[in-house]
Chains A and B, each alone.
Chain A
Amino acid sequence: MAALLEVEGLKAYYGQTQALHGVSFSLEQGGITTLLGANGAGKTTTLRAICSMVRTQGTIKLDGEAIAGVATEEIVRRGVGHVPEGRGTFTNLSVEENLRVAAYTRSDKAAADRDRDMVFEYFPILKARINQQAGTLSGGEQQMLAISRALMLGPRLMLLDEPSFGLAPLIVQEIFRIMRRINAEAKVSMLLVEQNAALALDLADHAYVLETGRVVMSGKAADVKSDEAIRKSYLGY
């Protein structure tokens, strides 16, 4: 299968500090790839680098097209839905407006309406809260809203930054179940960053383990999961 996302020798910097030292990986069309690693390994930075939210060097190709250095909003318009760390809710806007902002760039309004219905089917609770100020939602609901906002872009690729962060296990399970459905039904490829390695390896088909800004190992999710040495030394469980 063709690679949807190819990252080659990616370096990223926060001011003078280098956070990534030549990360390379690829993501297959329709697949779910997870980036694992300890705090500060560069997982979030990698997602930010793909969206030009940090200064980068190296090549990033989306469907064969180089996107390194392109403005964040233009990358998003090419079909990359980034669900950011901390959820990025527009707290003063209503749930409905949060979704409408994300559909703002789409020219095909009928498709946007269909995606809206799809979002409400995945997360019926958002429909019940449609006129509520988004800042008043619970953490889990805000995470659902963040995923929904990314979906409203009609993305080819979703970048998910720790969707389980700070949520109760039951909510996490539900969100991961729906992410699997989104991948299968809406045909959205996913790049998932997670602290919860066991959870991520269950969902993903490929895994890359990062350590201090470098890829230290990679493979099929099932293989990584069954390799006790990797689990113990890098994933801590």
Chain B
Amino acid sequence: MEQLIQQVGSGLANGAIYACVALALVMIFVSTDHINFAQGEMAMFSAYLTWQVIQWGVNFWLALPLVVLVSFVIGVAVERIILRPLHNAPVLSIVVIFIGLLAIFHSLAGAIWGHTIKVFDSPFPHITFAGSGYIGPHQIGMILVTIVLLLLLFAFFRLTPLGLAMRAAAQNPVSARLAGVRVDWMLALGWGLAAAIGAVAGSLVAPAVYLEPNMMASILLYGFAGALVGGISSPGGAVAGGFIVGVLENVIAYAGNLLEKSTGIYIIGNGEKLTVALIIVITVLTLKPSGLFGHVTVKRV
């Protein structure tokens, strides 16, 4: 039982990161209908930036907002400079661009900071508290920071005129233009926000997985699974989906271990966590393509 609680706890912590990545994916998907395959690498690049700023002697909590801001600008720049000229291009061209971006950010990080693993200290204090046997301080920190981030985003989209304009632009670009909304800039802003969310996710997960250019590869997959579970068109669903995937991967592996212990049959274990994510992706796409919280969109053709 104790182990199960532990597994759920660390599942929630991982889920927080998947939720951020899923949200970043959805942010771009709802306004452009594209999945940004480079989202993970952009987050990894941001994590390196945070590490670099910390190496210069800056406190993590000062470095993070700075890097979030820089990542936002990078996101906006990528949209304006690279994707804007291609806004009428067929979807395959866009996919190639995304893969190109992935390679660029990956190689750039490797070229600047090297491919060896770097230690990224947790910004959260190493304290013991009631229940700290179940969940570590860094894991609790990840969950808390994610929740604050999500609340801020929610407030931004619900309560500010700019957030409303972004929602309008994502939902009906033609009508949004007719309401005077500069839709092109809203797309760029969406990219900026996605990059900023990724920066938080990358910088928070780096202490848990160690910093290296491949660190986000599997996390992007989990994030994608989370977005699909929740419904790729629903930001709230993506967040819920991220947490669900985080908990599921741990609990299923845990159940697999139990099964092996009691019967000696090995079906699934810690080594197959990524497989769980892929099974989730395939199951959702087959049985309920719109996800748990997404809505079916009917398009006139």
Residues on A lying within 8 angstroms of B by beta carbon are: 51, 53, 71-73, 76-77, 81-82, 84, 88-93, 97, 100-102, 104-105, 149-150, 153
Contacts and interface: CB of A to CB of B under 8 A. Distances in A.
Contacts of B178: 51, 72, 76, 81-82, 84, 88, 150
Contacts, number: 67
B165 interface: yes
Contacts of A104: 161, 164-165, 179-181
Contact of A88 (B164, B172, B181, B182): B172
Q: Which 7 pairs between the two chains have the least Cβ-Cβ distance?
A: A88-B175, A105-B180, A76-B180, A72-B177, A101-B168, A102-B179, A82-B178
Nearest to B177: A72
B274 interface: no
B252 to A, nearest CB: 34
B180 A77 contact: yes
6 contacts: A73-B180, A73-B181, A76-B178, A76-B180, A90-B176, A93-B164
Given A73-B177, A100-B161, A101-B176, 12 more contacts: A72-B177, A72-B178, A84-B178, A88-B172, A89-B175, A90-B175, A92-B167, A101-B179, A102-B179, A102-B180, A104-B179, A105-B180
Nearest to B158: A97
Given A101-B164, A104-B161, A153 B180 contact: yes
B171 interface: yes
The number of chain B residues touching the other chain, given as a range, is 10 to 19
Contact of A53 (B165, B174, B179, B180): B174
Secondary structure at chain B's binding surface: helix, strand, loop or mixed?
helix
Contacts of B161: 100, 104
Given A90-B168, A100-B161, A105 B181 contact: yes
A76 B177 contact: yes
Nearest to A51: B178
A88 B167 CA distance: 14
A76 B171 contact: no
Given A76-B177, A76-B180, A100 B171 contact: no
A102 B181 CA distance: 8
A101 B181 contact: yes
Given A100-B161, A104-B161, A149 B174 contact: no
Contacts of A91: 171-172
A102 B168 CA distance: 10
B177 A101 contact: no
A82 B174 CA distance: 11
B205 interface: no
A92 B175 CA distance: 13
A138 B182 CA distance: 29
Nearest to A84: B178
Nearest to B178: A82
Nearest to A83: B178
A21 B165 CA distance: 36
A47 B167 CA distance: 26
Contacts of B232: none
B175 to A, nearest CB: 4
B26 to A, nearest CB: 14
B231 to A, nearest CB: 13
Contact of B167 (A51, A53, A93): A93
B201 interface: no
B183 interface: yes
A67 to B, nearest CB: 14
Nearest to B172: A90
**Interface-central residue, B171, B177, B181, by most chain A CB under 10 Å:** B177
Q: Which of A76, A91, A93, A104 has the most CB of B within 10 A?
A: A104
Given A73-B182, A101-B165, A88 B174 contact: yes
Contacts of B177: 53, 71-73, 76
